[in-house]
Every structure is written in C-alpha cells, then in structure tokens.
Structure 1
C-alpha cells in the first residue's frame, strides 16, 4: 500500500479503522463512524390548511360578499399549495372542488322562485270586464299583442283539453256574444288558469265540448304546434272567472 500516514478502513475488520504509518499497518484501531444520511426536507402544509379554513368560513357567510371573497381566496391558496407541492394535497383538491360548489349553492339560493300556477287569484270585479262586439273580437284576433292586459268577457266552446294542453289550459273556439249554435263559435283561442287566474284545480271538471262564459285578461299571442306538426299562433287569455253555460 503506497499511501500517506492516516486512518484507513481496516482491511480485515469492516466497520473499523486502522492506522497506516506510511510504510506499514500498526496495531492502532478505532470504530468507523459513518455520517447519518441526510433527511429529506419536510414539505410545508400551511397553504392547504389556510385554504381549508377560509373555505369553511366562506361557506358560513356564503350569502354575503364577504363569504364569496373568502371562497375566492381559498381557491387561490389551494392552487398555490398544489403548485408548490406542499403536503395535504387531498385537502387542497377538496378546497378547489368545494369553492365552485359554494358559488353554485349561492346562485341557486338567490335565484327568484318561479311563480306558481296556484298563486293567489286576482280580485274579480265583473264591471271591470268589457263586453265585446264582433268587431272588438276581430281586432283582438288580428293583433293580440296590441290588446294585452285588456279585461274582456268571452264566450267559448272547449275544443281541446288534454295532455297536450295540460291540466291548466285549454283551446277553444270563441265568440264575442252568446250563440245559439255551437258552430257559431269561430275564433281559435287559448284560455289558461293559474298565475293570478282561477286555480288549476277549478278547471278539472271542464271537458271538450263544454260551452263556457269567461271573464278573461288578454295575454297577447301564443305559439303552439298542431297535431299535424304545423306551427300556429292564437290569442291567449288568463281565466279570471269561468262558468259553464246550460245547453
């Protein structure tokens, strides 16, 4: 061995060091102390925890702008935690999923409720409803939208009241005045209950071929599809009061 004097691994005893004096081995030995392996650096977890806390508080105050700001901040922190490869990856992903869900819940909660067909009917004062002439009826048929919100008296024969029209509306042939013969009802119209008119439940006893007197409010023109798949239009009226005529 051609080496300077010093401590070297023992050639016969692994784990020990032996002194080499530059020319030969001596009897001096000592244990070989190995340096411990370097531990990998611990990854931080602060961003993920902060994101989770802000998300929870944001959900508590979801209805106000403060809650929405907290949710957006939580989302930013959760994304930063993933980008920086911090610990608690699952918690960061949960926050990222939770924030959009919170905004969706807020949007649903703040959306206006649709008006129910069973809403309170308008008060009916019969003198507020105009009795029509044939010419008045012709003008409404010609341009329904020009007569929207007018309150009128209509006589009609039910021509369609089925699953296609629904339980709260029906199609009929109308006249401005009472008629003696059912074929004298000539004008095609739609009559609809609910949403301020008579409750839908009150229409359950009416069927096709019934002749009725209706106090109605004009709602303009409505589009519908015929049995032959043709696109048609007709005036629509809200039923404020209805009675079956004796025949």
Structure 2
C-alpha cells in the first residue's frame, strides 16, 4: 500500500498542459494556395510570343496569358511569376496585334485587286466606235465595251499567224503598262478566261493573262479584255465560240489599246484590250 494518496490526474497533467498551450492543436489547417493560374498565365504568354507570326492565334494566346496572370496576381500567386507573365503577354499581344492587322489589310487589298469588274457591266457592244473615242476612255464607264472598230488601228478579220511572236514577262508587263504605245503589235499570250457569258456576249471576254503557260491559272495576274477579231456585229464569233469561263487558253492577239471601267468595289480600273485571231484551249 502506498503511503501517499495518489492524485487521479497524476501522469496526465503535463500532457493536458501541452495540448492546452499548443495554439495549433485542434485548429483545422486551411487549403494551400495554388499557383496554377500563375503557371498557366506564363505558359500562355510564352506561347503567344512564340506564335506571334500566326494571325489571330498569337493574339488570342497573349490576351489569355494577360488575363490568367492578372487573376493570379490578384490572388497572390507567385507574384514574380505573375508579373513576368503579364509583361511577356503584353509584348506578345502588341506584336501579334500588328501582325494580325497587317494580315487583315493585305487581305482587303488582295480582294480589291482580284475584283476587277462587275459582271453585270461587261459588254461586247459598248466599246467606243473610233480611235478618238478609245483615246478618251480615261473617264470611267459603267458599261465597258469591246469591238474591232474601237482600236487605234484597223483590225483585219484574218491575219498571218506566223507574224505573231511570243513575249516574255517583261515585254507583257510593258504592254499592260502602256497599251496605247503598243497598238498593232501581234503577240502570243496565255491566260485563263474569267468571264465569258451573257453579260460579255459571245464575242468578248475577260481574261487574266501571262507570258507563259501556267497549269495553276491563279498565277495569271494581268487582267485584260479580249474580243474576237472576226466580230461582224451579228454575234458570229468563231474564234471565241469554243471557249467557256475558266478555260486555260493560248491566244494569238493584236494589241488594240486600253479600256477604263467601273469596278465592283467602286472606283475604276484600266486594262489592255486585245483582238484575238486564234484561241487554243490548253
């Protein structure tokens, strides 16, 4: 038997005191602060900077990077990383915006240059009927026209095809630049028929031309008007009769001058005019 009475709390006082004095004992731990938004922001910013040369894509990635980095900064996630993400994404967004803007401007310019005439205005009967009328065609007309009598030199119904010569790109460019100074020259060109329908009539057509044959017709870049030299005013035009729109053709033509007419998007354009003596589908 013990000589001293035992306290029932003996042996537990220290343990109880430890837990009661521990400020963290019994308190729930809060969730750890995630850094996912900061990481996503810097990744998107980096991708935007790497892909700035792709219109729209680089801009979208950069803007998304700015958004994620700003949210991460507001939530106190990896402050240095978030600020870096904002800076990188801002630079990427600026560069991508310039690239995207340039792409849009170029698209509009290309669309404008490829749209040459309103199909409803092309006609084979409204080209001026004399050399003086042809020379005054600098004023835009709503109904561009083509006819053998329009050229500054008489157009024969037939011609010796052996007198025609092939041209190179430079020579054709000079003709297209100043058709009136080359009136009467007999050349061989290639091209793609862009319009030959009820609007142009059976004796005239619009053709994108080039000096050499191109299997891919979109490589023909110079717009022109071509009319049948044998046109007698009665819609009997055997040279152009076999042709239809989108044909890739080789043409034996004589330079007839130029024509100015309204375009589909407004304004006017001036193109060379040729009289065709032979047309060969390629």
TM-score of Structure 1 vs Structure 2, range by shorter chain: 0.3 to 0.5
Whichever of the two has the greater Rg, that structure is 1
In proportion to residue count, which structure has more helix?
A: 2
- Give the number of the structure with larger relative contact order, counting CA–CA contacts within 8 Å between residues 6 or more apart: 2
TM-score (norm 2): 0.42
